[in-house]
C-alpha cells in the first residue's frame, strides 16, 4: 500500500514524517521507496535536500532521478519555479515514474509539495496529482497557532477530491504552544481518520526517532476495513 503525504502548510514536517514512515515500514521487512514528484530549491548538482532525505530513507537502491523527476533551482511555489526554468510540470511523467517504483516496492511514500492545493502548473494542483495517483492521503499537521483551521480545511479538500484520508500525524512545531493537548483532542473530535501519532518537538529533526511515535497498525486496520 502506498501513501500520499501532504501537510497543513510548507515547513510542517512532511519530509520528516515521510522518512519516518519509510523507516517504520522498512523495520518490518518491507521494500520501501520515497518519491518526491516535484521539488523547488536545489543545489549545484540539481539535487533537493528533501528528495535526498527520501532517497536515503528508502530500503531500495534508487537513482536520484527515480526519486525526484522534477527539481527546480528556485525555492518558490512549484508552478512558478517551473515557469522560471522554462518547464511545464506534466503529470504523465510523474505517473510513469511512480508506477516504475510501485512495481518494485511494497510501499511508495509520495511526498507532496507545500500544502494540498498548491498549484503545479497552470491548471492542476497537488490535490489533482494525489487524485491522479489515486492514493490514500496522510496529513501532517504542524502543531502551532492556527493549525486547527489549516488542518480542517485540508481534510475538507481531501474529501472534496474524493480521496481517503488514511490518517493524520500531529507534529509538534511549537513546544510552548498553548493548550497543545486540547488542540490535538479538538482535531481528534473533528477528523474521522485516525491519529497515527504525536511527534514531540525536535530541535534537530530525526526521522528514525519520529518513526517510534507512529502506529502503523492503525493504517493496517484502515486497509482491512476498506
**Segment-wise mean pLDDT, segments of 10 residues, the chain, 226 residues:** 95 97 97 97 90 97 96 95 96 97 97 96 97 97 96 98 98 95 98 98 95 93 65
pLDDT of residue 225: 63
pLDDT of residue 226: 62
- Whole-number Cα distances in Å, 13 to 2, 10, 16, 30, 210: 19, 8, 5, 23, 10
CA–CA separation, 138 vs 195, rounded Å? Answer: 10
Choosing from 14, 36, 92, 131, the catalytic residue is: 36
The model carries a pTM of 0.95
3-225: which CATH number, 3.30.200.20, 3.30.565.10, 3.40.50.300, 3.30.70.141?
3.40.50.300
For 140-172, how does the pLDDT look when each residue is reduced to its tens digit (9 = 90+)?
A: 999 999 999 999 999 999 999 999 999 999 999
What phi and psi values does residue 74 have, to the nearest 5 degrees?
-85, 130
**Is 36 one of the annotated active-site residues of the chain?**
yes
For 62-71, how does the pLDDT look when each residue is reduced to its tens digit (9 = 90+)?
A: 999 999 999 9
Amino acid at each position: 500500500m502506498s501513501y500520499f503525504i501532504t501537510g497543513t502548510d510548507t515547513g510542517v514536517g512532511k519530509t520528516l514524517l515521510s522518512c519516518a514512515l519509510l523507516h517504520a515500514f522498512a523495520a518490518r521487512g518491507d521494500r520501501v521507496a520515497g518519491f518526491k514528484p516535484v521539488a523547488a530549491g536545489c543545489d549545484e548538482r540539481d539535487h533537493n535536500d528533501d528528495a535526498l532525505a527520501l532517497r536515503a530513507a528508502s530500503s531500495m537502491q534508487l537513482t536520484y532521478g527515480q526519486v525526484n523527476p522534477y527539481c527546480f533551482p528556485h525555492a518558490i511555489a512549484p508552478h512558478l519555479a517551473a515557469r522560471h526554468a522554462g518547464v511545464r510540470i506534466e503529470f504523465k511523467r510523474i505517473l510513469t515514474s511512480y508506477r516504475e517504483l510501485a512495481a518494485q516496492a511494497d510501499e511508495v511514500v509520495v511526498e507532496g509539495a507545500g500544502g494540498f492545493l498548491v498549484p503545479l502548473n497552470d491548471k492542476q494542483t497537488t490535490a489533482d496529482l494525489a487524485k491522479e495517483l489515486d492514493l490514500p492521503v496522510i496529513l501532517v499537521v504542524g502543531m502551532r497557532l492556527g493549525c486547527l483551521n489549516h488542518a480542517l480545511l485540508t481534510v475538507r479538500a481531501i474529501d472534496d477530491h474524493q480521496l481517503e484520508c488514511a490518517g493524520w500525524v500531529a507534529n509538534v512545531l511549537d513546544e510552548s504552544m498553548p493548550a497543545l493537548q486540547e488542540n490535538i483532542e479538538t482535531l481528534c473530535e473533528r477528523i474521522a481518520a485516525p491519529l497515527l501519532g504525536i511527534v514531540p518537538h525536535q530541535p534537530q529533526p530525526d526521522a528514525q526517532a519520529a518513526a517510534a511515535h507512529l502506529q502503523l497498525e492503525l493504517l493496517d486496520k484502515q486497509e482491512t476495513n476498506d
